Amino acid sequence: MNFKDKVFIVSGSNSGIGKACTESLLDNGAIVVGLDIKKASIIHERYIHYLLDVTDEGQVITVLNNIEEKFNRVDGLVNCAGIYASLKPFYELSIIEWNKVIDTNLTGVFILSKYTTQKMMKFKRGKIVNISCIRSKIFRPNMADYAASKGGVVALTSAMALDLSSYNIQVNSIAPGFTYTEMTSKSFDNPKIREFSESIIPVGRIARPEDIANVALFLLSDMSDYINGETIFVDGGFKVSK
């Protein structure tokens, strides 16, 4: 896939799936604008980094205006910024804990997508990939806040796709399964947890961030022009084995 001279925005670009998406785009010739609450962990001549909280609408507006002024285009967006569950049953969650997860994982997608698509609509083209999770469909205890946020991303993806269809902007999401990242390493570095997790995944291994990034690249490319409003589970067959 050739993304030479195309401009992509990736939120959560500093680590995990977001970093893998950023590096894959760079490897394929793209210009990447990374957004993260932490300082850049990527140094590349075609990479620009902004310190940004995706829940801060004012910051998002300012950064998107800067990007438009600098490049006069945005070809694609990957919404990857996110946080994990509070790990409490829903009846023990405070409204602060609930809002923190929902605001970052769902409202942040809405805010960043809103202002990015306003730039794309001028040219009637664009691609958006939202990162959801298998927990949007397959649930476990003590994850109500996270499941609600990721389920919301799936619904928002389809709704955005319909709203943007007349502008030739395709919106899809990816629902990763068990994936080894900085956020999950504490669990998967435990041999017993890793062995059990791999035993219930049909392909027999935990995903690498690059496995998810490969699908994101396909959805950002011209090859996916006829896919719209969909959520693709990238989980080694875990969903269909349940």
180 part of the active site: no
Locate 72 and state its tokens.
């006069």
Range 112-117, long-range pairs (CB < 8 A, 24+ positions): 112/9, 112/11, 112/35, 112/54, 112/60, 112/77, 112/79, 112/81, 113/77, 113/79, 113/160, 113/171, 115/60, 115/61, 115/64, 116/9, 116/64, 116/74, 116/77, 117/77, 117/160, 117/164, 117/167, 117/169
Of residues 146, 167, 180, 226, which has the active-site annotation? 146
C-alpha closest to that of 33 among 60, 1, 2:
60
Amino acid 128 reads I
User: Active-site residue numbers?
Assistant: 146
